[in-house]
Chain A
Amino acid sequence: MKDRASNAASWLLCLPVLALLILCFVMPLAGMARLSLNAGGGQSGFGLGGALFEPGTWTVAAYADLLASPYFREVLWFTLWFGVAVAVVCVLIAYPLALAISRLSPLARALALAAIILPKLANVLVVVYGLKLMLGNAGPVNALLLWLGVIDSPVRLLNNLLGVFIGKTYLILPYTVLLLSVALARIDPELNLAARGLGAGPLQRFVRVTLALSLPGLATAFLVSLVFGVGAFVTPFLMGSPNQITVSVDVQRQTFENLNWPRGAAESVVMLGVLMAALGGGAGLRALARRKDTR
């Protein structure tokens, strides 16, 4: 009896949070899903209002459109491989960096992490325009490469795939480094000493101790980078060319340029599904690893 009462009380306590979640996350998402199934594409989504449950306004036409569209397949394919490639590069750069940071003294480690987070304190647009200045034909990066004699004439680092890649990697990297340094900091340094005492060389120690123990953190860092990478909007928009269209960019075009709100909503739902599948797959793998552990 008492149990039930306290149960009810705890639900009551959760109510404000629950209401917030429903209001801020569930309802907009449900609205988007409903919009993707709405007949009559041309009008603004804001007019949906009362027509929400009206019969005859439901259709899967937008999804049929997507399936039939080679253009969307191309955009989706580019978005996915771009996201994966950015996540891979982020992890490859961030891992050695995080490893080096994890071996610093506590003060130096705090300073290094602060330096890495610093760019995140600035507005994304400011950062991107800063990057554009750096990467331009007359920018310092090209100037340095020319001065070093690596190149004879300025290379194009902007408004192409390379530009998008550099921009997106730059924006995601702090998160990847942060997540990996947390994972690496959790590894007891004494384990490396133990491995050394048992005769393991540097490579063996890295593979069998450090890398093996940081694998869960590595998976998390990769997935988070992937989610950010796949969701890329600002960098393709500002640093890419018309060839680098991600789903996010296309959603914006479909809704605001073509005024085809159901199509934009349908694309968003598909993207959401893909990301949920990736995160779910990651969580599944971790659960599997944990079950193996307790067996």
Chain B
Amino acid sequence: MAAPSPPPGDDPGAGLVLSNLRRSFGRDRAVDDVSLEVEPGSLFCLLGPSGCGKTTLLRLIAGYQAADCGAIRLGGRDITTLGPEHRGIGMVFQHYALFPHLSARDNVAFGLAARGVARGERRQQAEAMLDRVGLSAAERKRRPRRLSGGQQQRVALARALVIEPKLLLLDEPMANLDRRLREQMREEIRDLQRRTGVTTIFVTHDQEEALSLADKIGVMMDGRMAQIGSPDDIYNRPVDARVSRFLGDANLLALQSSHAGQWQLPGGMAVAANGRATPAQVMIRPERIRPVEAGRAGVGAHVVSTTFLGADRIIDMQLGDGTPLRMRARRERYDRLAPGDTLRVALDDDAAWPLA
């Protein structure tokens, strides 16, 4: 039984470069001409709605699916035609895919055994990695079926990391956890990624998860990479209306006219122009709208409905000409607002982002 030799170049955290990657299923282009660069040691998030091709892209990178064309380079080495067993990539599957007949510890040791690591060494490394992910001694002896979702995820992480992969792939790893655990695991993964320094690609459809975790985000839409950038870029400077809507609430307003550095928006609103071009639409995030005292600058609005979110409140309004506007405010006094009430609102000076 010849164990595949570990790939050469053993510093963790290799850079990944995808060039013009394409993969179709029948007539459906699941991944359509995707080019992408992930810096060594960084955490990259593939974000997109379900069915956008992000999981297919992840499987292309892992080697479980062959690309129709394009190239994949990991740490400067072309791995496009290499089988997954020779890529040296660690993967955490959405449903973890833990071996049901093996204990947590043996699950972690599996990859080491496949690499021909001696039994004693194997055990030691597996234990050390399980220490890192924080699985107790009693839990290590159990089979996956007797572990909770969070514990299973820790085992899956340890199993993927113990082989010292040059790249770690996570396929919606939080999808099966409840909200509190999800937030805790998010921090743990971020922490683990920083400590190990392994280049990581994380697939999710949860924008909050992407914004809070990633160094860089790639937003995928219909098999194409719609935008790649920092969380700040993606959230505040989206390339188009679809990206802006996918990344949370957005008011999309048609631009009516532009002069003297001011953009005129529907309902009598005006905002400082952002850039010289005159876009067709302007995006304004709900939290960039603020209520103002009566008699000050701003426009009047009718409250249509309000939604309590805990610290914040979402207030859906209608301007004088019927334009709907959504505001997100923190102030307790707006708790009293009821549908039909009127108030005055104004935009932050730099609130507007132009969309093509």
Verify if A200 is at the interface (C-beta below 8 Å from B). Answer: yes
Verify if A208 is at the interface (C-beta below 8 Å from B). Answer: yes
In the complex, chain B residues whose CB is within 8 Å of the CB of A195: 99, 110, 114
Verify if A194 is at the interface (C-beta below 8 Å from B). Answer: yes
Contact of B85 among A190, A197, A208 (CB under 8 A): A197
B114 touches A201 (CB 8 A): yes
Verify if B89 is at the interface (C-beta below 8 Å from A). Answer: yes
Verify if A196 is at the interface (C-beta below 8 Å from B). Answer: yes
A26 CA to B118 CA in the complex, in Å? 57
A209 CA to B106 CA in the complex, in Å? 12
In the complex, chain B residues whose CB is within 8 Å of the CB of A203: 1
Minimum CB distance partner of A200 in chain B: B114
B89 touches A197 (CB 8 A): yes
Verify if B146 is at the interface (C-beta below 8 Å from A). Answer: yes
A193 touches B97 (CB 8 A): yes
Verify if A212 is at the interface (C-beta below 8 Å from B). Answer: yes
Verify if B62 is at the interface (C-beta below 8 Å from A). Answer: yes
Verify if A6 is at the interface (C-beta below 8 Å from B). Answer: no
Contact of A197 among B2, B62, B101 (CB under 8 A): B62
A199 CA to B97 CA in the complex, in Å? 15
A295 CA to B64 CA in the complex, in Å? 35
- Which parts of A174-220 form the interface with B (CB within 8 Å)? 188, 190-191, 193-201, 203-204, 208-209, 212-213
B84 touches A201 (CB 8 A): no
A1 CA to B191 CA in the complex, in Å? 58
Q: How far is the CB of A144 from chain B (nearest CB, A)?
A: 38
In the complex, chain A residues whose CB is within 8 Å of the CB of B114: 195, 198-201, 204
Given contacts A190-B93, A203-B1, contact A196 B83 (CB under 8 A): yes
A199 touches B99 (CB 8 A): no
Verify if B238 is at the interface (C-beta below 8 Å from A). Answer: no
A193 CA to B169 CA in the complex, in Å? 14
Contact of B4 among A188, A190, A201, A295 (CB under 8 A): A201
In the complex, chain A residues whose CB is within 8 Å of the CB of B111: 198-200
Verify if A123 is at the interface (C-beta below 8 Å from B). Answer: no
Verify if B3 is at the interface (C-beta below 8 Å from A). Answer: yes
B1 touches A196 (CB 8 A): no
Which bracket fits the contact residues of B? 20 to 34
In the complex, chain A residues whose CB is within 8 Å of the CB of B1: 201, 203-204
In the complex, chain A residues whose CB is within 8 Å of the CB of B163: 198-199
A201, A203, A212 interface centre (most CB from chain B within 10 Å): A201
A66 CA to B247 CA in the complex, in Å? 84
In the complex, chain B residues whose CB is within 8 Å of the CB of A198: 85, 110-111, 114, 159, 163
A200 CA to B116 CA in the complex, in Å? 10
Verify if B143 is at the interface (C-beta below 8 Å from A). Answer: yes
B3 touches A209 (CB 8 A): no
Q: How far is the CB of A266 from chain B (nearest CB, A)?
A: 43
Verify if B100 is at the interface (C-beta below 8 Å from A). Answer: yes
In the complex, chain B residues whose CB is within 8 Å of the CB of A54: none
B146 touches A294 (CB 8 A): yes
Verify if B123 is at the interface (C-beta below 8 Å from A). Answer: no
A194 CA to B146 CA in the complex, in Å? 20
A199 touches B115 (CB 8 A): yes
In the complex, chain A residues whose CB is within 8 Å of the CB of B110: 195, 198, 200, 208
In the complex, chain A residues whose CB is within 8 Å of the CB of B84: 193, 196-197
- Which parts of A273-295 form the interface with B (CB within 8 Å)? 293-295
B83, B84, B85 interface centre (most CB from chain A within 10 Å): B85
Q: How far is the CB of A112 from chain B (nearest CB, A)?
A: 24
Q: How far is the CB of B299 from chain A (nearest CB, A)?
A: 55
In the complex, chain A residues whose CB is within 8 Å of the CB of B313: none
A213 touches B85 (CB 8 A): no
A193 CA to B163 CA in the complex, in Å? 16
A200 touches B85 (CB 8 A): yes
B100 touches A190 (CB 8 A): no
Q: How far is the CB of B26 from chain A (nearest CB, A)?
A: 14
Could you name 22 residue pairs across A and B whose Cβ atoms are closer than 8 Å?
A190-B95, A193-B64, A193-B84, A194-B99, A197-B62, A197-B64, A197-B84, A197-B91, A198-B110, A198-B111, A198-B114, A199-B88, A199-B114, A200-B110, A201-B1, A201-B3, A201-B85, A204-B114, A208-B113, A209-B99, A293-B143, A295-B141
Q: A residues touching B (Cβ–Cβ < 8 Å)?
A: 188, 190-191, 193-201, 203-204, 208-209, 212-213, 293-295
